[in-house]
Amino acid sequence: MKEKFDREHHLQDRLNSFLKQGLGLPNKDYYSNLDVDGFLKLKSILSGINNIFTLKVSLAFAYWITRRLMLNQEIANGIISQITETKPNANGYDLEISEPVKFIAEVKCNVPINAGTVYGSAQKTGIDKDIQALINGKSKSSINTDGYLKFMVFLDKPEIRNATEHFVKNMTSEKERIIFVNENTSIESTENVYVIYVGI
């Protein structure tokens, strides 16, 4: 007879395993020791995970673009300061630099749903919205994007590469303006959106 799925046991095991293996905590049943207030506090802390990912990917992009465009240390420090001094979920682009090189960037920390290699519909909508904003501008930014290099930045994981390439391949508009960057790509056009992957 097939064993019945136990939802609570499954969730309990996942939480306890992560805390023990991921954080190296002692072997205890943390799930059973948390009350409603404990779960609410944990939920509040974990809700900031995407902001942590965005920060780390943004900083990795800052180091990447500093090397790629051969920017000096003073400019690099300015880019890093802009990232670290900007509040999470602030209006505008994730990164807006107007001198000496003009560029804007959107950072996406999407991971394909259900451990797959294709983005879900909400993820696709979000990526498409960011691409359109890079090309056409956005109402919450005063930047005219015409003279800016445009970057779409993703975390470098095989499943994210596959999902992003699948998404672009199936785009209905602006597909011809998307360029996947490699070491030989010339980054000069302000008409295109350059897709890059960075490790953290």
pLDDT greater than 70 at residue 29:
yes
- Measured in residues, the chain has a length of 200
Q: Could you tell me the sign of the dihedral formed by the alpha carbons of 138, 119, 56, 179, in that order? A: negative
- In the chain, what percentage of residues exceed pLDDT 70? 99
pLDDT greater than 70 at residue 80:
yes
- DSSP string across the chain: -PPPP-HHHHHHHHHHHIIIIIT---S--HHHH--HHHHHHHHHHHTTHHHHHHHHHHHHHHHHHHHHTT--HHHHHHHHHHHHHSPTT-SS-SEEE-SSS-EEEEEE----GGG-SS--HHHHHHHHHHHHHHHH--TT----GGGSEEEEEEE--HHHHHHHHHHHHT-SSSGGGEEE--TT-----SSSEEEEEE--
- In the chain, what percentage of residues exceed pLDDT 90? 63
CB count within 10 Å of CB 179 equals: 19
pLDDT greater than 80 at residue 115:
no
| Domain annotation covers residue 4 | no
| Domain annotation covers residue 2 | no
| Domain annotation covers residue 160 | yes
| Domain annotation covers residue 117 | yes
Tens-digit pLDDT profile for residues 101-114: 899 999 998 888 77
Give the pLDDT confidence score for residue 189 in this predicted structure.
94
Give the pLDDT confidence score for residue 111 in this predicted structure.
87
Classify residue 150 as exposed, middle or buried by CB count within 10 Å of its CB (0-12, 13-18, 19+): buried
| Domain annotation covers residue 76 | yes
Give the pLDDT confidence score for residue 167 in this predicted structure.
94
Task: Provide the pLDDT confidence category of residue 3 given band limits of 50, 70 and 90.
Answer: confident
Give the pLDDT confidence score for residue 32 in this predicted structure.
93
pTM recorded for the entire structure: 0.84
Give the pLDDT confidence score for residue 77 in this predicted structure.
93
Number of domains in the chain: 1
Give the pLDDT confidence score for residue 91 in this predicted structure.
82
CA-CA distance, 79 to 95, in Å (whole number)? Answer: 8
Tens-digit pLDDT profile for residues 95-104: 998 888 899 9
Tens-digit pLDDT profile for residues 135-185: 999 887 788 899 999 999 999 999 999 999 999 999 878 889 999 999 999
| Domain annotation covers residue 34 | no
Question: Which structural domain, as residue segments, surrounds residue 64?
Answer: 49-198
Give the pLDDT confidence score for residue 1 in this predicted structure.
65
